[in-house]
Amino acid sequence: MQATGMEGIEAAAFQHNWASSSTPSDPSPTAMTPVVARPNEFLMMDYSQLDMEECLLMFYSKFYPFDRIYRVKGPYFTRREFSMTLANQTYIRFLSFLGEADMRERIVQAKPIKIDIGAIYSARPSEKKSLMPASFSAIERELVFDIDLTDYDDIRKCCQNKKMCIKCWQYIVAAVKVLDAILRMDFGFVSILWVFSGRRGIHCWVADKRARTLDSGLRKAIVSYIEISRSAGKTSGNGANYSVSNGGSYNNSSAVESHPMIKRALSLVSPIFKQKILPELLSEDVENTDLATSLSGLCPAPNGLIEMWKKEKICDPLERWKTIVQQLCTSEKKQRSHLAEEFILHRLYPRLDSNVSIGLNHLLKAPFCVHPDTGKICVPIDPALIDKFDPDMVPTIHSILSKENGSDHLQPYLLLMDQFLESLNK
């Protein structure tokens, strides 16, 4: 990926003429204006025949909520870092805009396939090259979290890598429930925005003032509080011994019973485990070898347990799970009684990219961007309704452009963004 300065935008922004052969040869904003000004022409086009860059020009011109993005940090907006990824994969960092109108004009011209938002700096990011290093530093940044399904590939049975379905999306559902509760109940944060990443993950923006002004050391402390540490090599439900920063490890003390964060997490994710995960994990259709692998470490003799299920015709996944829990609770080894809870947490506790949260200079995809591979809009999500969110049903750039009331498809998500913006003023 080639990095360049703002001067590269003019050279790369109009590589591809999006209109017909009658389009003026001068690809200037003035030449585009007549097309943008006549909305009915949007409805006359076959968007399936247009490439992403052409569609992005129309999307940014007509639908992208620049006003909301500007309001996220209005007074310091000129010192906020933005980055763009252009259609030719040119990546441009340390961009800054003079205001909402300047941002709109330059993004419409550049038609980036991705926009990222970074920190607020001590000076305008676009002036970075003219400043001494000591005069340019990140001074404020939302506390952000990035959860991606690729971090669950060791336990996902349905999909791998970039693929995702509604079954493995349940891992994201569980992560949102747990992390949102920690942020609100343990830290008292209020201004929290959850945004679908556009393919297989979710982003969280915590914008309370005391969150924005945290230094990297305090951000690291928060991440350490949230994460459940794993000590590899200890025998347990998944080959690791889990503990919390101010609790005890499962195998040495009853962290499940003593630490309220873990106890709350289990209460939030256990219904998902029983209703969504178990049917895939312990179904009678699963091969015996796969069952034995999944249960390795959780049960002392998984093959014997599988044979018992067959002999006694225990086919229901929930009933099978009950036999596992009963076996663990009656075990002579006291520490095994908590392996069932650990087994659940290993699958459904949030898996964070800690570097994203700790560093102030890390950029994150802007809300309402279009994912360049899926065409899906990166829409805000209500964490209280995360159970009902279907990532396959979100608006796409083509569904927005091809309908006369395309903006109506974005309205519910714009309302969520407005609620987030209102919380910033409280």
Phi, psi of 347 (to 5 degrees): -90, -30
pLDDT at 30 over 90: no
C-beta separation of 63 from 410 below 8 A: yes
What is the average pLDDT across 351-371? 96
382 tagged catalytic = no
Alpha-carbon distance of 71 to 76, in angstroms, equals: 10
Q: Which of 140, 142, 148, 342 is catalytic?
A: 148
C-beta separation of 131 from 33 below 8 A: no
pLDDT at 26 over 80: no
392 tagged catalytic = no
Contacts 24+ apart (CB under 8 A), 310-316: 315/284
Buried b (16+ CB within 10 A) or exposed e, 7-25: ebbeebbbeeebbeeeeee
Alpha-carbon distance of 68 to 421, in angstroms, equals: 8
Residue 339: predicted pLDDT: 86
Residue 46: predicted pLDDT: 54
- Which residues contact residue 367 at a Cβ distance below 8 angstroms, ignoring those fewer than 6 apart? 68, 69, 193, 195, 378, 379, 380, 417
Phi, psi of 34 (to 5 degrees): -60, -35
SS3 labels along 37-79: CCCHHHHCCCHHHCCHHHHHHHHHHHCCCHHHHHHCCCCCHHH
Find residue 387's DSSP bridge partners. Answer: none
Which helix (DSSP H) or strand (DSSP E) does residue 91 occupy? strand 91-95
148 tagged catalytic = yes
Alpha-carbon distance of 411 to 89, in angstroms, equals: 31
Least confident span in 59-73, 105-119, 190-204, 331-345: 331-345
Q: Which of 53, 54, 81, 142 is catalytic?
A: 81
**Residues recorded for the chain:** 426
Alpha-carbon distance of 418 to 413, in angstroms, equals: 9
Residue 168: predicted pLDDT: 93
C-beta separation of 81 from 121 below 8 A: yes
Which domains are present in the chain?
Answer: 7-149+354-423 (3.90.920.10), 229-348 (no CATH)
pLDDT digits (tens, 9 = 90+) for 327-354: 888 766 656 668 888 899 999 999 999 9
- Which residues contact residue 46 at a Cβ distance below 8 angstroms, ignoring those fewer than 6 apart? none
Find residue 143's DSSP bridge partners. Answer: 206
Q: Which of 146, 208, 341, 342 is catalytic?
A: 146
C-beta separation of 81 from 37 below 8 A: no
Alpha-carbon distance of 1 to 85, in angstroms, equals: 9
Least confident span in 80-94, 217-231, 386-400, 411-425: 217-231
Rounded to 10 deg, the angle between the 317-329 and 339-348 helix axes is 130
